[in-house]
Amino acid sequence: MTYRVIQVGTGGQGAHWCSTFLRENVDDGLIEVVGAVDIDPEQHENAMEHLGLDESQCYTDVEEAFAEVDADFCTVVIPPWLHEDVVDAAIEHDLDILSEKPIADSLEASVRIAEKVRRAGVQMGITMSHRFDQDKTSLRRHIQGEEAGPLDYIVGRFTCNARSYGTWGAFRHEMEDVLMIEGAVHQLDFIADMAGSDCKTIYADTWCPDWAEYEGDVQALVQLRFENGTRATWEGAKANAVGLNGWKSDYVRAECRDETLVLDDRELVRYPYDADGEQVVGGRTADPEPVMLDEQEKWSNTWLVEQFVEWLDGGEPMATNVEDNLQSMALIEAAMQSSRTGEPVEVQSLLADTRASVEAELSD
């Protein structure tokens, strides 16, 4: 079956959806884009050029588009604080939903969206693109293979030189807790996925240095402990002097029983355990062995669109369905709370309390 889609948001990241993520799935016959929405009419050009829409199929109002266009689902590629309004409209018109991360700009709003979706009986997926990028997918599969042995802990680094206003998109420079909401939402998500467990506790220290032209915190040091005993530490920064590991060039080191795996700027290597090389003084005892990255036709959001369609076709729910992706939002909310209080936060208790509060609110 070919599914009919309304693309909400055709500028910024939405332009990439038009030119690449949707386009490749249109070419494969999985979807047909039948409408597009953006409040800026000039951005409609992206949908017309790449998806073959005409001007009559492009709208500036979501409600009008959903009422007039016959579709099966919508995509949501607009700022996080606007997601809930689009979800409400989609539910009203019985549309399934595929949304860019994060679910919303707060855990409460995210839980509320997930509960509304559950009650309405529609399907909603979140495009956690980094988790399904080629390099992170390759590392995850290797961690879960037989060679590495049990995973002990993970170290992640995401550091950028993006301190000047507008470098990271003007709206992000005016957001509170921007690194957590717009950056760590990806990194902590794929670290948790590699750990293979929900997070038990998180401790985070976030701040904004004087030289960073942001209103919210853009630097972070985070410690995580997962329910299966795995630990992780993550360094995030948007205002460093140099970008060692920027967007999609992450550093991740996985310390396993039988080998150390290092992903750095999209190159993956392994260091097998050497019983004869044990030492305390000195550097590396062996050279790394390159690990070839996995090969397949689609990655990132292009692959996630395909996964969503397979779910709509009756397959298993995509791994980043809105309910399961609440774990990612809980990590971010817990990290922000930890930074404010200076104390570690119990992630699952926070999520449970938020669920209870939202369910009571929606039941009134």
Within this chain, domains 3-130+300-363 and 136-291 share the same CATH topology: no
The upper half-sphere exposure of residue 186, i.e. CA atoms within 13 Å in the direction of its Cβ, equals 25
pLDDT at 105: 86
* Tens-digit pLDDT profile for residues 255-288: 999 999 999 999 999 999 988 888 888 777 778 9
- In whole angstroms, give the CA distance from residue 364 to residue 91: 19
At position 287, the amino acid (one-letter code) is D
CATH fold label, 3-130+300-363:
Rossmann fold (3.40.50)
pLDDT at 283: 72
The whole-model pTM stands at 0.93
Please tell us whether the domain made up of 136-291 is placed in CATH 3.30.360.10. yes
Burial of 13 from C-beta contacts in 10 A (0-12 / 13-18 / 19+): middle
CB 66 within 8 A of CB 90: yes
pLDDT at 363: 86
DSSP label of 148: S
Domain residue spans of the chain: 3-130+300-363, 136-291
DSSP label of 7: E
At position 352, the amino acid (one-letter code) is A
Which pairing describes strands 289-291 and 267-272: parallel, antiparallel, or unpaired?
antiparallel
pLDDT at 275: 86
| Partners of 151 in the β-ladder | 256
Mean pLDDT by 10 residues, the chain (364 residues): 97 96 97 98 97 97 98 96 97 98 93 97 97 97 94 98 94 90 92 97 98 97 98 98 94 98 98 88 82 97 98 97 97 96 98 95 84
pLDDT at 169: 86
pLDDT at 287: 87
CB 89 within 8 A of CB 62: yes
Q: What token pair was written down for 58?
A: 């492009």
pLDDT at 279: 84
pLDDT at 351: 98
Pseudo-torsion of CA 352, 318, 147, 278, nearest 10°?
A: -40
pLDDT at 5: 98
